[in-house]
Structure 1
Amino acid sequence: MAAADSHLDAPPLRPPLANTSAPRDREPPHADLDKLRRWQEERIARRLRGEYESAVLHLAEVVNDNMSTPLRLASIRVEGAARTRQSFLSALVTPFLPPPATPSFSASSDHSSSLGDVLHKARHIGSLLQETDIFQSVEARLEGSRDFLARPGDVDLVLRTRERGRFYLNTSTQVGNNEGGASATCRVRNAFGGAELLQANLAFATTTRVAFSASLSAPLLPYLPYAPSASPNPNLNTRGEISIFGHERDNTTFASSFEGVRGLRAAVRTGTLRNGTHEFAYEGVLRHIGNLAPTASISIREAAGPSIKSALSHTYMRDTRDDALLGTQGSYVKLSHELAGLGGDTSFFKTEGATQLARRLLPGVTVSVAARSGLLWGLDGRPVPFSDRFQLGGPMSVRMFRANGLGPQDGPDSLGGDMYWAAGLSVIGDIPRRPHWPVKLQGFVNLGRLDSMDKSRSLIDNVRESISKPSVGAGVGLVYKLDAVRVEVNFGVPLVASKSDGVRKGIQVGIGLDFL
């Protein structure tokens, strides 16, 4: 009895009970089950987030404290790349591995490698794999080396990847360069396992009645010889491309004819658009001018028939604008040179340049200054074919003039020219009290001229005369950025025009990508 009396039980708890929840928890009443459940989920999420952030900070401290720890990258493995050639992956990752052991190479000579170096290499390799446009995701981890000859501090870098879909098919309607149409595009990514891109396109439009193209491009730099002593810096900025193309274009609005083009092209591109790209290309093209309108001029009738061009070209382009269509800061430069005469029935040298500079003057107000110029010089004494001559004028170049309406004319037809220049000043601003609208106000002044070269005079005299007699147009309008194109509705007048120029007074609409 004494032992039983010594065992005491706590009395049972009976309501009403005091509320012990902390006021800062803001616990909802038990009657509202939905609010109670959401409160509990948010509370758990906050706790997990706090634990995750603490773990990340702790891991960052551990890594930062051990960045100088000696570590050597022994091998690199890429997992999940079933449709990518191992030779291509090896060309990308091999430059990041240390050179193979030789009698003059010992373990003591690789002590400079550390955890920091390995992590930087892992980040660089992951970025390089993403740059191929083959992989949807790339995850990296470090493991102890599996090699039975591994030394202390040797690790393997394992990259777990997930490849993108290979096939892409798209049909769309599109508007650009003052014409509208429909197109179908088929694309095969990583076609042969080495980041190749195989693409075919078929389009129908109002001016270009039908156009087709097929191209195959691939990175070239991974296949170039690699020197193990060089610093690992492979990149995919050098690509080669082979293409075939053709189109049927309706030129009746300015040249009373149709033009058919069939050709092939091979090009090598290198660099990035922001730092500058170079393209070296060869092009062989068969052109045919036919289906003349009854009102076609004698000059167009003489230009009718086939012509063959075989040419080498070089193009440099650099674009630092924040927006290619409505830039508020940055600059754009493009220079191109073409030498024809390596076969075919035409021989000439053509050079062309374009530049644009955009700056923000005031909040919501941007000024844009642009200029273009080109020179065409025949090399065999014969007239340069109509298809290779410059055309100028229209809502995308010298506004308030007809499309391709500047320069030499023969009746209703524009014959093109050997030399041109054009410049423009545009001020673009927000609509008052509606700065968030995608429609902007524009005021512009454009001037330019297109001429045929007078071979009896010097080049300087030809240029001086062309600059002294510009055609000028000015006006105001609205600008709207519609997805990938720019739309302008302008009202203006030509201020100065030559007798042969085709002018356009009143309202003019422009739709395209590259405006002066």
Structure 2
Amino acid sequence: MGTVHAKDQQKPPVVEDQRENLGINGPGDDDVCSGKTGQHKFVSLDGLQARVDKIHIDGLVRTKDDIVVETVRDLFKAKDFQEVIVGAHAIRGKLEALGCFRNIGIFIDTSSGPGATPNGLEVTFHVRELKRIIGGVNSLIGNNEGSLVVGMKMPNLFGRGEKLQTEYSYGSKRTTGFNVSLSKPLRGKMNSVFTSTIFQVGSEWPWSGYKQIERGLLFDVAFTSAPKVKHNLQWEAAWRDLSTLTRSAAFQVREQAGPSLKSSLRHILSVDRRDAPIFPTTGALFQLTTEFAGLGGNVGFFKNEMLLQGNFPLTSDMVIQGAIQAGLLKRLTNDKVVSMCDEFFLGGPLNLRGFETRGVGPHSDGCALGADAYWAGAVHVYTPLPFRPGKGSFGDLFRTHCFFNAGNIGNFNFTDDYQHNLKILGTDLRMAYGIGLALRLGHMARVELNYCIPVSFKRGDRPAPGIQFGIGLQFL
């Protein structure tokens, strides 16, 4: 067991590495109790003076003491009992984020023994470390596709939250993937995590007439600069081999067949202040992805993609949601090339409903070619099911929604005249509206079944009037 003692709150805590069992009995995982062991005292927390004399971590085996001490030491700053309660729950969240433990319980008792103060408390965290090797088979949902995933991971590999993980996936649309990654939390107040990944991904895109195998290496540093503000700094080196699916593929597709090598830097900014990732009732989401390719290899471009979503409650059970996403790719002027897999595509149940997947924009011989710029926007009104069947249980997983979405995509010739650029983006709009049913799957994915009515499209587009099904992690 690791025990943390604070002789003086003005001095840093002293660590004593004691692995014996102290025999402290506490309540269940989610209980916070005050009073002597085995007793519950209900007291008013207003103005109740308290300080933390000692912190005990019960259950350490492989985890190193230094990382635990750094995680819990902020609890010594508490000045009253309410701050102790709130701080203890915050510390439990930080311990869970280390990726070392499960079933973390908290027990608060009055301080006793040498060094005890009149208002002193002892806080004990009962932890249970994760197994050395964890494996399993599960399903993954994304991009309107379901995948079977077989994986194995070794959490807390070296005792400081490191994790080695390997996965193999096979998708319903013949997408295959294999990766091996090693992640390590970095010390500091920014909750930084460094991850290195070796990967191979094979995918087929029948809407564009090509398939691709991608092998590469990815380094990622994730950190937070403010509450709910997350950054990812990435470097990726990938070798891609693009080939045609059929002999009838368009000439522009066959022309790009062959290998390419991309080396790129990427920054992903995410600010998520919604109250829930699926069916939020209030709050906003902002994501900005910036990528520069051309540091090596034969692929070169500068690419930006943005997503903005806002949610506004109209009544206690009715929410209006507005969202817009856009992307712009600028090709480098040297001898670098841009592959089809780097272009933007538009259309399908995950973004521009009422059109087939990749059904909007430049096409040739039935193959979607992609473009350098696009934008799409949508307005939704979400309500519970009529007459509220299953209220408080299964019925709360469903929402009905009316929607209107519009967008445009193309290789536009932008100038320094912003009014001219806006006029270009507003020309040849594609629009559709409809009504549908949405189902929440856990807290990350959802399913939509919509009846769509396209009202504006261009020659060469592929509208999809009628019933449209979508499943994925993120919808427009």
> Residues 54 and 342 of structure 1: is their aligned pair in 2 closer, same or farther, counting only changes over 3 Å?
closer
For the 8 Å contact 2:309–2:321, the answer to whether it is kept is yes
Q: CA deviation at 1:365?
A: 2.2
> Residues 162 and 299 of structure 1: is their aligned pair in 2 closer, same or farther, counting only changes over 3 Å?
same
In structure 2, give the amino acid aligned to 1:446. Answer: N
Separation in 2, partners of 1:240, 1:352: 24
Separation in 1, partners of 2:36, 2:56: 29
- Cα distance per residue 1:175-233 (max 9 Å; x no partner): 432222311122222111101122221111122421112222121125xxxxxxxxxxx
Separation in 1, partners of 2:119, 2:348: 68
Q: CA RMSD in A?
A: 3.6
Separation in 2, partners of 1:415, 1:506: 25
> Residues 296 and 463 of structure 1: is their aligned pair in 2 closer, same or farther, counting only changes over 3 Å?
farther
In the TM superposition, 1:58-457 aligns within 5 A as: 60=43, 67=50, 78-92=57-71, 123=88, 128-135=94-101, 136-139=103-106, 142=111, 144-145=113-114, 161-222=127-188, 235=189, 237-252=191-206, 254-271=207-224, 275-381=228-334, 382-435=336-389, 436=391, 437=395, 438-454=397-413, 457=415
Separation in 2, partners of 1:396, 1:486: 10
SS at match of 1:198: strand
Q: CA deviation at 1:251?
A: 0.9
2:424 equivalent in structure 1: 465
In structure 1, give the amino acid aligned to 2:402. Answer: G
Q: CA deviation at 1:315?
A: 0.9
Q: TM-score, normalised by structure 2?
A: 0.80
For the 8 Å contact 2:274–2:280, the answer to whether it is kept is yes
Separation in 2, partners of 1:304, 1:496: 33
Q: Which runs of 5 or more residues in structure 2 are unaligned?
A: 1-34
Q: CA deviation at 1:497?
A: 0.7
What is the count of residue pairs matched by the alignment?
Answer: 431
Q: CA deviation at 1:151?
A: 12
> Residues 84 and 269 of structure 1: is their aligned pair in 2 closer, same or farther, counting only changes over 3 Å?
same
Q: CA deviation at 1:53?
A: 13
1:514 equivalent in structure 2: 474
Separation in 2, partners of 1:284, 1:391: 23
In structure 1, give the amino acid aligned to 2:403. Answer: F
Matched, 1:501 2:467: no
For the 8 Å contact 1:144–1:154, the answer to whether it is kept is no
Q: TM-score, normalised by structure 1?
A: 0.74
In structure 1, give the amino acid aligned to 2:449. Answer: V
SS at match of 1:384: coil
Q: CA deviation at 1:310?
A: 0.7
Q: CA deviation at 1:88?
A: 2.9
Separation in 1, partners of 2:451, 2:119: 73
In structure 1, give the amino acid aligned to 2:453. Answer: V
> Residues 385 and 85 of structure 1: is their aligned pair in 2 closer, same or farther, counting only changes over 3 Å?
same
Separation in 1, partners of 2:285, 2:106: 36
Q: CA deviation at 1:77?
A: 5.8
> Residues 88 and 117 of structure 1: is their aligned pair in 2 closer, same or farther, counting only changes over 3 Å?
same
> Residues 476 and 450 of structure 1: is their aligned pair in 2 closer, same or farther, counting only changes over 3 Å?
same
In structure 2, give the amino acid aligned to 1:262. Answer: R
> Residues 348 and 395 of structure 1: is their aligned pair in 2 closer, same or farther, counting only changes over 3 Å?
same
Sequence identity percentage: 28
- Cα distance per residue 1:345-377 (max 9 Å; x no partner): 111111111011122213432211110011100
Q: CA deviation at 1:274?
A: 5.8
Matched, 1:481 2:422: no
For the 8 Å contact 2:48–2:81, the answer to whether it is kept is no
For the 8 Å contact 2:78–2:84, the answer to whether it is kept is no
> Residues 428 and 192 of structure 1: is their aligned pair in 2 closer, same or farther, counting only changes over 3 Å?
same
**Structure ranking higher in strand proportion:** 2
Separation in 2, partners of 1:62, 1:458: 62
For the 8 Å contact 1:138–1:162, the answer to whether it is kept is no
Q: CA deviation at 1:238?
A: 1.4
Separation in 1, partners of 2:69, 2:356: 56
Separation in 2, partners of 1:160, 1:489: 45
In structure 1, give the amino acid aligned to 2:50. Answer: M
SS at match of 1:492: strand
For the 8 Å contact 1:485–1:511, the answer to whether it is kept is yes
For the 8 Å contact 2:78–2:87, the answer to whether it is kept is no
In structure 2, give the amino acid aligned to 1:81. Answer: L
Separation in 1, partners of 2:340, 2:301: 13
> Residues 191 and 54 of structure 1: is their aligned pair in 2 closer, same or farther, counting only changes over 3 Å?
closer
For the 8 Å contact 2:219–2:235, the answer to whether it is kept is yes
Q: CA deviation at 1:323?
A: 2.6
In structure 1, give the amino acid aligned to 2:100. Answer: I
In structure 2, give the amino acid aligned to 1:401. Answer: F
Separation in 2, partners of 1:57, 1:488: 49
- Cα distance per residue 1:4-27 (max 9 Å; x no partner): xxxxxxxxxxxxxxxxxxxxxxxx
Q: CA deviation at 1:451?
A: 0.7
Separation in 2, partners of 1:179, 1:96: 45
Q: CA deviation at 1:281?
A: 1.0
For the 8 Å contact 1:122–1:157, the answer to whether it is kept is no
SS at match of 1:302: helix
For the 8 Å contact 1:174–1:182, the answer to whether it is kept is yes
Q: Which runs of 5 or more residues in structure 1 are unaligned?
A: 1-50, 98-111, 223-234
Separation in 2, partners of 1:220, 1:307: 34
Separation in 2, partners of 1:113, 1:485: 39
